[in-house]
Amino acid sequence: MIFRKKHTEEEIPMSRDWKEKNKRYLNQIQKFLDATDSIEREEIKNNVIAQMLRCDQILTELAEREIKKYKEQDTEKR
């Protein structure tokens, strides 16, 4: 049985289309992954990719907070 955490409205992630459909973002991710292909030791390669993904997650969360803040400010102005 899978238990899922109930999210508050604040915790529910917004659509990440803004990032995941961005051609520049996808191009750079592909270049990064292509570069990691040259790492011979699988453990090191996986550690590098995992660390980049953690950094990407943090940046995404920061960007989403800023987007949310600007949307809230825009709503307050109306």
CA dihedral (8, 4, 53, 20) positive or negative: negative
The confidence band for 18, taking pLDDT boundaries of 50, 70 and 90, is confident
Report the distance separating Cα 7 and Cα 20, nearest Å.
22
Domain boundaries along the sequence of the chain: 17-77
Is the model's pLDDT at 33 over the cut of 80?
yes
Per-residue confidence (pLDDT) for residue 1, from 0 to 100: 40
Is the model's pLDDT at 23 over the cut of 50?
yes
What token pair was written down for 24? Answer: 């520049």
pTM metric for this prediction: 0.70
Per-residue confidence (pLDDT) for residue 65, from 0 to 100: 92
Is the model's pLDDT at 68 over the cut of 70?
yes
